[in-house]
Amino acid sequence: MKILGISAYYHDSAAAIVQDGKVLYAAQEERFSRIKNDASFPEQAIAYCLHEAGLVVDDIDQIVFYDKPYLKFERLLETYYAFAPRGFRSFAMAMPVWLKEKLFMKQVIRKRLKALAQTKTIKIPIHFSEHHLSHAASAFYTSPFDRSAYLTVDGVGEWVTTSYGVACGERGVEVRGELHFPDSVGLLYSSFTYFLGFEVNAGEYKMMGLAPYGNPNSERVLDFIHLIRENLVDIKPDGSIKLNSAYFEYSVGLRMVNPKKWQKLFGVKRRLPEEALDQTHADLAMAAQKVTEEVLLKLMKHVKQETGESNLCLAGGVALNCVANSVLFAEKVFDDIYVQPAAGDAGGALGAALAASYLSKDRCFHGSEKPFDVYLGSRYSNQYIERLLRKHQYKYQYFERTEELTKVTAQYIADKKVVGWFRGRTEFGPRALGNRSILADATDPDMQYNLNMKIKFREGFRPFAPVVCEEDYEAYFDLSKHSYYMLFTSMVKESLREVLPKDFYEYSLEEKRKLRKSSLPAVTHVDFSARVQVVKKELNPAFWRLVQSFKQLTGTGVLINTSFNIKDEPIVNSPEDAFRCFEKSGMDILVLENYIIEK
């Protein structure tokens, strides 16, 4: 059975095709539309998935949407009614869209697919999966486990904000408990994202990156944590929470919080997006991160107690918080934790299709021995790229053998060049994992600043991720979860660290950033952590060979790996996207499959 999964109309729209329980292709609409976090109907992503699978629309046996619009609409109506007359402006803005499109999702899907297929009718059955079931299925059915506990945490689906239960290859996903709107760990975290001047549903990872600049021993951080616990959120022993609605406006308004009340509570004015960051902002980010970790730890322990399972699957937008994931893993409550690499709403398309696929009575899921293959997106042939190069009269080098290509590329990186690396299929999810990456030397003390300012054009405090081959991990990092998807952090090995000054926490944010912290200065965050991508040879042979080539040249088996894009743009998808990014930024070298272009 061939199933098309769709997520759309909130953020990170995507499409996925699953056949007989196997994921064939998956892609996010933003990669084609070039609109960051694109929420529109994923027409181009669907067209891509069908084309790559050699299918037309009529070949699909079933379509599954990732949530239930009627339940979501019920939640909106009940919420507006409960808070009336507050929220009328938000209600007036939301209702036309719902009454025109979202309530009639079957008709919308049929209409859009009819245009795509250029046919008169679309008779394919359309079903709707619950939002958190889509999340849970996306994690379990791509995991290495035959059975496990699961925990999904995000902003909100229809009503549910947190869900847990047991997933089993024979019986499917069984819900054991839920937390409902407006009480939401994800919306609590996003409220701090908003207050600190970052974009909701897009800037949470920026706040996560800012948090380690906070002073964990300061009275201010401890006071902020106390104020959050006492005024914003009541945390129960089982990890369930109750938010104080007097401080939040997301239920009825067009903003997350009441800035005046938050300013009075914390003694901090809401930061506007272009205003400078200071130590107070970092301390507040750290406090929010610590409280989130506290809630997740209690939730995880409760899930263990209730399910008795050995392993845990995580999904939902909050599962992209790699710092919190590492805190959970370090507790060893479960033997192992698996996080679906597209854990946010994009992964909902994948989960909806997988959930429907395994509803079949004669299909039983068995955990995969191989890690989930995240390279599910677009790829381009050498012939396509050569035509493009000739059309624009670019000078290039061509390498027949991948081994020779990686050696030459490694030499460029060793010479302190910044390389755009474009090979194979695009990654599914928010992380560039070696197919659409910008690569540089992790030992260069100036590289972190140069990449942020001259290549990515983004905030200078932002950290960069290291990539290391699985065989070399323990030479550079303390034992932790080996993540092929950059979803956990590791601590840089103590023998590689520099001794920090005793007054380090009195430094400004910029002084903290500039201070050399290890022999891998460009990827070591202020707290000695790093969001490591571990490369397995079988998963990505060319990328593995490149890192090994760099190690042979320099003696260091670690590179910087950041996504191939600039600020506020999606990761590049096509060679044309790569060229535009290459020309607009300070990158030195562009690798397109077997071709190298030097600026």
Find the helix packing angle between 88-100 and 69-83, rounded to 10°. Answer: 160
pLDDT beyond 80 at 360: no
pLDDT beyond 70 at 439: yes
Final residue before a domain boundary, out of 336, 368, 399: 336
Query: Is 457 within a domain?
Result: yes
Backbone angles phi, psi at 8, to 5 degrees: -170, 165
Integer angstrom CA distances of residue 414 from 83, 215, 323, 418, 441: 60, 35, 30, 10, 7
pLDDT score recorded for residue 120: 75
Supply the range of the domain harboring residue 218.
185-336
pLDDT score recorded for residue 93: 81
How far apart CA 63 and CA 99 sit, in angstroms, is 22
- Rounded to an integer, the average pLDDT of 29-57 is 97
97 and 189 fall within a common domain? no
Q: Provide the pLDDT confidence category of residue 261 given band limits of 50, 70 and 90.
A: very high
348 and 392 fall within a common domain? no
**pLDDT tens across 288-319, in order?**
999 999 999 999 999 999 999 999 999 999 99
**pLDDT tens across 4-16, in order?**
999 999 989 999 9
Query: Is 496 within a domain?
Result: yes
The 3-state secondary structure of 201-221, one letter per residue: CCCHHHHHHHHHHCCCCCHHH
Query: Is 391 within a domain?
Result: yes
> Cβ contacts of residue 363 below 8 Å, gap of 6+?
20, 21, 357
Q: Provide the pLDDT confidence category of residue 276 given band limits of 50, 70 and 90.
A: very high
The number of beta carbons lying within 10 Å of the beta carbon of residue 367 is 16
pLDDT score recorded for residue 361: 59
Q: Please count the structural domains in the chain.
A: 3
Query: Is 153 within a domain?
Result: no
How far apart CA 29 and CA 49 sit, in angstroms, is 11
324 and 241 fall within a common domain? yes
389 and 486 fall within a common domain? yes
264 and 351 fall within a common domain? no
Q: Provide the pLDDT confidence category of residue 517 given band limits of 50, 70 and 90.
A: very high
Query: Is 64 within a domain?
Result: yes
> Cβ contacts of residue 561 below 8 Å, gap of 6+?
432, 433, 434, 437, 438, 439, 464, 465, 466, 467, 533
431 and 345 fall within a common domain? no
315 and 348 fall within a common domain? no
Query: Is 58 within a domain?
Result: yes
- Rounded to an integer, the average pLDDT of 142-146 is 97
- Flag the least confident range among 275-284, 355-364, 421-430: 355-364
Final residue before a domain boundary, out of 336, 369, 397: 336
pLDDT score recorded for residue 362: 65
C-alpha closest to that of 433 among 478, 372, 384:
372
- Flag the least confident range among 97-106, 128-137, 520-529: 97-106
471 and 588 fall within a common domain? yes
135 and 214 fall within a common domain? no
- Provide, rounded to the nearest whole percent, the portion of the chain with pLDDT above 90: 89
Query: Is 151 within a domain?
Result: no
Query: Is 563 within a domain?
Result: yes
Domain containing residue 74: CATH number:
3.30.420.40
99 and 129 fall within a common domain? yes
- Provide, rounded to the nearest whole percent, the portion of the chain with pLDDT above 70: 99
Question: Are 323 and 529 contacting, i.e. CB atoms less than 8 angstroms apart?
Answer: yes
- Rounded to an integer, the average pLDDT of 387-411 is 95
Domain containing residue 455: CATH number:
3.90.870.20
133 and 195 fall within a common domain? no
591 and 451 fall within a common domain? yes
pLDDT score recorded for residue 265: 98
